[in-house]
Structure 1
Amino acid sequence: MRRLIPTGEAERPVAFAEAPQPVPEPDEVLVKVEAFAPNRGETFLLEDPRPGWLPGKDVAGLVVQAAADGSGPGIGARVVGHPAQGGWAEYAAVPTHSLAVLPDSIDSVRAAALPLAGITALRLLRTAGPVAGLRVLLTGASGGVGHYVTELAVGAGAELTAVTATPERGERLVELGAHVVHGVAAAEGPFDVVLESTGGPDLPVALSKVRPGGTLVWFGQASRTPATLDFFRLLGGPERVTIRHFHYAGAPYGPDLAALVGLVERERLHPEIGSVSGWAETAGTLVDLRERRVRGKAVLLTGGTR
């Protein structure tokens, strides 16, 4: 079969290679991949790939081999999955605790856009707690996670301000009910909850927008620049602020994927897909994603989709 492997080259991060078809573990199904969605974090890992690493965590496709232990769906089921690696291939082995069955109403393109970004959004909002009636600030909002957080938070009753680099990148967020600004400093606080994903100089500015007794949840460093906090200055401003670190990881992912699928099926969640291409265009798409030229999610197709 064909799969994409890292090259270590900035302008051509991946290339096709022939590889054996994966042999699933007893609790894994074999999925014929129809679509996959790269994440911006994966573009950073491709800059200096570790030996043996096979990229690809968000896939949608068809089960062609059921799990030997009897768990999970049977042959012929359409699924969305979140394997640990190896999804940028014709076939991928996916643990049954990390997938969900798709209804006919959800195509593989939208399904592939769900896993990492959608799971992150769900778990991030659980970490933040109930947001109904609260003022929420979200930085780095124009990517896949930001669109999901915005729709879910606004749907839950939050008054959400989203930070994007340009008006164009914020257009869909406005449609979803967010107030959009183009710089953290432009956000008019105070906020009950700040969801901060850019790091660098933005983090202390975002922290200054938190009301006394509020919470900042730090869940990324998209700027790739370390943040410096002056706690003496902080204590002269929004006192008693709680700072929480968040990371989405932690199996099982299946229940959250099933929840996301259900939200999409009921039209309460709408994946924002900024790019759909055949997987021959993966290298260029990865560069676009790394350089923030894609709004929302990018999806690659390996062949026929539904």
Structure 2
Amino acid sequence: MRRLVPTGDAARPVVFAEVPQPTPRPDEALVKVEAIAPNRGETFLLERPRPGWLPGKDIAGLIVQPAADGSGPGAGTRVVGHPASGGWAEYAAVPTHSLAVLPDGIDSVRAAALPLAGITALRLLRTAGSLVGRRVLLTGASGGVGHYVTELALGAGAEVTAVTATPVRGERLARLGAEVVHEVAAAQGPFDIALESTGGPELPAALAQLRPGGTLVWFGQAGRTPVTLDFFDLLGGPERVAIQHFHYAGAPYGPDLRTLVRLVDEGRLHPEIGRIADWTQTADTLVDLRERRIRGKAVLLTGGTPCTP
């Protein structure tokens, strides 16, 4: 079968290789992959790939071999999955606790756009706590996570201010109901919660926008610039603010995938997909994703067309 493997070349991050079909463990199902969705964090890992690392965490497709231990869906079931690695291939072995069944109304394209960004958004908002009537500042809002966070937070009763690099990247967020600004300093605080994913100077700027006793949840460093905090600047800002580090990881992922699928099926969550292409264009798409030339998610099709119900 064909698999995309790292090259270590930033201009051409992956190439196809012919490899044996994976042999699933007893608690894994074999999925015929129909769509994959790379994440910007994966583009950074591809710059200096670890030996033996196989990229690919977001997939949708069809189960062709159920798990030997009897867990998970049966053969012929359409699923979305979040394997630990190795999803950019014609076939992937996925733990059944990282799968969710797709209803007839959700195609492979929208399904593949859900896992990492959607799970991150769900778990991030759980970390933030109750959102009803609270003011939320979100940086790096035009990426895959940002779109899900914005829609989910607004749906939960929050007032959201989304920070995007350009007006174009904020258009859909504004239509969802967010206040959109293009630098943290332009946001009209104070805020109860800041969700910060950019790093560099943006984090201390977001911290300064909090009300006394507010919380900043730090979940990324997309700007790739380390954060510097000045103690004396903090003294001049809001009192007793908290900074909380967040990372989405921690299986099982199946329950959160089922929640995301249900929300999409009910029309309460709408994946923002900025590009759909054949997976022969993966290398170019990864470069564009890394350079922020794609708004929302990119989805690549292994067979040219998505499986639709």
Q: Shorter chain as normaliser: what TM range?
A: over 0.9
Counterparts of 2:184 and 2:19, CA distance in 1: 46
Partner residue of 2:245?
Answer: 245
Task: State the one-letter code of the partner of 1:29.
Answer: A
Counterparts of 2:36 and 2:233, CA distance in 1: 45
1:236 Cα deviation from its structure 2 partner:
2.3
Task: State the one-letter code of the partner of 1:284.
Answer: D
Task: State the one-letter code of the partner of 1:49.
Answer: P
Deviations 1:60-94, CA, capped at 9 Å, x for gaps: 00000000000000000000000000000000000
1:52 Cα deviation from its structure 2 partner:
0.3
Counterparts of 2:15 and 2:228, CA distance in 1: 38
Q: Secondary structure at the match of 1:275?
A: strand
- Residue 76, structure 1, aligned to residue 59, structure 2: no
Partner residue of 2:140?
Answer: 140
Partner residue of 1:192?
Answer: 192
Counterparts of 1:253 and 1:232, CA distance in 2: 41
Task: State the one-letter code of the partner of 2:159.
Answer: E
Counterparts of 2:233 and 2:172, CA distance in 1: 36
Counterparts of 1:153 and 1:93, CA distance in 2: 33
How do 1:131-170 and structure 2 match up within 5 A? 131-170=131-170
Identity %: 81
Deviations 1:116-158, CA, capped at 9 Å, x for gaps: 0000000000000011101100000000000000000001110
Counterparts of 2:48 and 2:290, CA distance in 1: 14
Partner residue of 1:210?
Answer: 210
How do 1:255-294 and structure 2 match up within 5 A? 255-294=255-294
How do 1:91-110 and structure 2 match up within 5 A? 91-110=91-110
Counterparts of 2:217 and 2:10, CA distance in 1: 31
Partner residue of 1:224?
Answer: 224
Deviations 1:34-66, CA, capped at 9 Å, x for gaps: 000000000000000000000000000000000
Q: Secondary structure at the match of 1:111?
A: helix
Counterparts of 1:146 and 1:21, CA distance in 2: 35
Aligned residues: 306
Partner residue of 1:86?
Answer: 86
Q: Secondary structure at the match of 2:97?
A: helix
5+ residue gaps, structure 2: none
Task: State the one-letter code of the partner of 1:170.
Answer: G
Q: Secondary structure at the match of 1:80?
A: strand
Q: Secondary structure at the match of 1:269?
A: coil
Counterparts of 1:155 and 1:174, CA distance in 2: 14
Counterparts of 1:221 and 1:162, CA distance in 2: 16
Counterparts of 1:226 and 1:140, CA distance in 2: 15
Partner residue of 1:124?
Answer: 124
Aligned CA-pair RMSD:
0.5
Counterparts of 2:279 and 2:233, CA distance in 1: 50
Partner residue of 2:18?
Answer: 18
1:291 Cα deviation from its structure 2 partner:
0.1
Counterparts of 2:237 and 2:289, CA distance in 1: 37
Task: State the one-letter code of the partner of 1:238.
Answer: P
Q: Secondary structure at the match of 1:47?
A: coil
- Residue 2, structure 1, aligned to residue 2, structure 2: yes
Counterparts of 2:176 and 2:71, CA distance in 1: 38
Normalised TM-score (structure 2): 0.98
Q: Which shifted more, 296-305 or 244-253?
A: 296-305
Hey, which bits of structure 1, 4+ residues long, moved more than 4 A? Answer: none
Deviations 1:175-232, CA, capped at 9 Å, x for gaps: 1110000011111111000000000011101100010011000000001110011122
Q: Secondary structure at the match of 2:174?
A: helix
Normalised TM-score (structure 1): 0.99
5+ residue gaps, structure 1: none
Task: State the one-letter code of the partner of 1:4.
Answer: L
Task: State the one-letter code of the partner of 1:186.
Answer: A
